[in-house]
Every structure is written in C-alpha cells, then in structure tokens.
Amino acid sequence: MRRRRASRHRRAWRRKTLLGLLVAVGFALSGAAGAVAYFLPAITTAIRDTGHTIQRGAATPAASASALPGEAAAAAPDPSVGSQPFTVLLLGSDNDAKFSGSEVLTQSMILTRVDPRTRHVVMLSIPRDLYVPLSSGGSDKIDKAYLHGGANAAVATVERNFHVHIDHYAWIGLLGLVNLIDKIGGVDVVATNPVLDDFYPADLSGQNPYAFQRVAVLPGPQHMNGIEALEYVRSRHGDLRSDFGRSQRQQQVLLAIRTKAKLLGLADLPDVASAMSNDFSTDMSISQVAALLPLAGTITLQNVQQVLLLPPDVSSAFVGSQDVLMPNWELILAEVRKHFPVA
C-alpha cells in the first residue's frame, strides 16, 4: 500500500517535472521566436548577401601570367577575420536605372588592409579609369572587371595586377550606401572644397536615368544625410582631379561611416540589414562581419593610412574612344609592396 502510494507520488512528481520542463522549453522557444522575429531582416540579409564565395580562377579564363605585369600574385594567407592581417576589396557601383541587374561598373574600388593586432588600416583607392589587363580577358578600364565577371573578376583582376592576395570583398550599391548613412543618422564630414557639378546624374529619381541635376556641396565641417553624402562622393565633373578627388572624398565618407558605426550594437543589425537590403553583398560570413564590428570600434583615425594613386603613378591617355589612366607599374607596385606586405 505504502509502496503503491510512493510509486504514484513518484509518477506525479515526474509528471510535474516534465510539465515544468515543457513549460520552460515553451518559454525558451517563444523567447527565441521573439528574437528570431526581431533579427529576421538581418538573418534574411545574412543568408542572401553574405557568405558568397570568391571563385578564384573560375572567372579568369583568359588570364595568364604573360598578359599581366610582373610576377604572379602573392601567396594566399588564411583568410580569417581573426588576429592575422587580412585584405578586403571594397567595391561601390552606380547600380541605378541605367544598368540592369548585376551588369554594373565599380565606380569605387578601395583595397583595404586591416591588421587586427596593431589596429592599423591602409586604404588604397584604385582609379576606376586605370587601364589594365582584365581577368576575364583583354584590357580595359578596371571598373569593367565587375561588369564582365562580377566580384570574382574584380578580385582576380586586382590580385593579378597589384600582386596582392585579397581575402574578402564587400560590394555596395548607390541606394545601399544612401540608406546605410540615413540609418546611422547621417555622417559628419569636413567637405574639402566646394563640390560643384552641373552634370551630376539624376538617376535615382526613377524617371529619366540619363537626366542631369545640379549639385553644390559647400566646404567645411557639416552633417550630411545619405543623398548629400552620395553627391559628395560621386561628383567629379567640377574637380580638377576628377576621379582622384572623388577617391579622396570616398575614403573620407568611409571613415565618417566608421565613426558612426562605432555607436552601433548587435540590436541595430536588423535596421542596418533592412537598409542595405538588395544593395550589398560580401563573401564574408555573418560571424566574420560580426567579428569586424568590435574591431572597427577600436581602430583610431591616427592608425588609418589613406593612399591615392596620383600622377606619376598614373598618366592620362586615350585608348580607342575612351580616356584612360595608364599605370606606371614600377611605381604602383613599389607603393603596394610598402602597404600590402606579402604574408
């Protein structure tokens, strides 16, 4: 009798425990569901826009050592975002209504080396008009590498010409940049000079993508929203330095974004992901991107070195029907070796 009562008591206790466990699991799952719902935009973006693989060699059928200057690309170190220095090719495209799908040029190419141990960053702007052998075959302006073979070709072309190994790439479109800057509350920038342009492309309004608009960014420290920052980094007609001036301004705004990004936390990821939706892609995984966030916050401005390729590194020329910049590889590669040492 006592044994039966004890057995019933044990069963009841087990049932209660099981029930308690089920309730606890239920709450844990509902909490997780709440978190997943919150992070859904970030998760969707992470799945769609991150983790793309660079197919080395796959998009380079015509590439050959003889077609390219100097020796072969540097040996590849482990491309992890850990304590080892790594190289990222930052790409920016005019993906407006003039272009269809991914058939876009890269108006901005910034080769960036990050050393997590020394917290040192080098940003080298590659002129978009640089006339180089493309990894997809033939020679053309370097901004066409992406047009002919996407990120793979852009990475391969830079690797082969500049003799560097690129661990990762990150690509952003016009609206992605505008939305990102708006989402972080704008950026504070010291405009270098009056940036005036009467032939600035009015291609984001959705009407005539070949129309012009007037732009006047006044000089000095100021707060810029996404559209104003885009006008500042994109305009080039009124600048004696043309693309060189634009490259300098692009690096400036990138650093201003970094300053604002330091204020962001994990809970901001969904907003940022939504802002850049469809206008961003990278081969970095979401965990690698997450690992970069705290690193970005620890890098001081004094440790960021900005490099531009100016004459005599390049010289103007006319090839076919287009103005191009011819590289002086001896000078350029010396500069590259200085800032992008082989691991």
Partner 1 sequence: MRRLLAVVVLLALMGAFAFGVNRFLASRRSHIPSESTISAPTETRTAVTLPGTMFISQHGDIYALAGGYFSDLRLARSGTWMQPSVIPGSDAILAVLRTDAFSDVYMIDAGGGAVHKLSHNATPGKVIQLNHWMFWPRVGADAQTVYMSYDSPKTQESYQIDFAVWQGTLAGKLAVHQVTDPFGYTGGDVDAVPLAGGGILYSKYQISSGQVYSRLAVQKDALAEPVYLTTATDDCGQPALSPDGASLAMVCTGGTGLQSTRLEVASLSGTTLGKPRTLINNCLCAAPAWAPDGSGLAYYAPADAGGHFQLWWIAGAAGATPHAAQEVTS
Full DSSP string of 232-282: HHH--TT-TTTHHHHHHHHHHHHHHHHHHHTT--GGGHHHHHHHTTTSEEE
Contacting range for partner 1; rule: CB under 8 A; set: 30-38, 54-62, 167-175, 274-282: 30-38
The answer to whether 172 touches 279, Cβ cutoff 8 Å, is: yes
Options 194, 210, 319, 338; binder of partner 1; rule CB under 8 A: 194
The answer to whether 313 touches 331, Cβ cutoff 8 Å, is: yes
CB closer to partner 1, 211 vs 342: 211
Tell me: does residue 203 bind partner 1 (CB under 8 A): no
Look-up of token digits 């590849």: 76
Tell me: does residue 221 bind partner 1 (CB under 8 A): yes
Tell me: does residue 175 bind partner 1 (CB under 8 A): no
Half-sphere exposure of 32 (CA within 13 A, CB side): 6
Exposed, middle or buried by CB within 10 Å (0-12, 13-18, 19+), for 224? buried
CA dist., res. 209 & res. 177, Å (int): 18
How many residues sit close enough to partner 1 to count as binding (CB under 8 A)? 65
Options 73, 174, 230, 304; binder of partner 1; rule CB under 8 A: 304
- Smallest gap from Cβ 179 to partner 1, in A, equals 13
Tokens, residue 35:
């978190």
Within residues 108-137, the interface with partner 1 by CB under 8 A covers none
Site string for partner 1, 41-80 (x = CB under 8 A): ----------------------------------------
Tell me: does residue 301 bind partner 1 (CB under 8 A): yes
What is the chain's Cα-based Rg? 25
CA dist., res. 18 & res. 198, Å (int): 73
The answer to whether 86 touches 80, Cβ cutoff 8 Å, is: yes
- Smallest gap from Cβ 209 to partner 1, in A, equals 16
- Smallest gap from Cβ 242 to partner 1, in A, equals 9
- Smallest gap from Cβ 221 to partner 1, in A, equals 4
Tell me: does residue 143 bind partner 1 (CB under 8 A): no
Beta bridge partner(s), residue 136: none
Options 20, 31, 82, 138; binder of partner 1; rule CB under 8 A: 31
For the CA atoms of 142, 284, 113, 81, what is the dihedral angle to 10 degrees?
-160
- Smallest gap from Cβ 125 to partner 1, in A, equals 12
Amino acid making up residue 327: P
Cα angle value 91/92/94 (rounded, 5°): 145
CA dist., res. 194 & res. 217, Å (int): 6
Options 48, 260, 337, 339; binder of partner 1; rule CB under 8 A: 260
What is the binding site for partner 1 (CB under 8 A)?
23, 26-27, 29-31, 33-35, 37-39, 182, 184-186, 188, 190, 192-199, 212-214, 216, 218-223, 225, 237-241, 244-245, 248, 252, 255-256, 259-260, 262-268, 271, 301-302, 304, 306, 308, 310-311
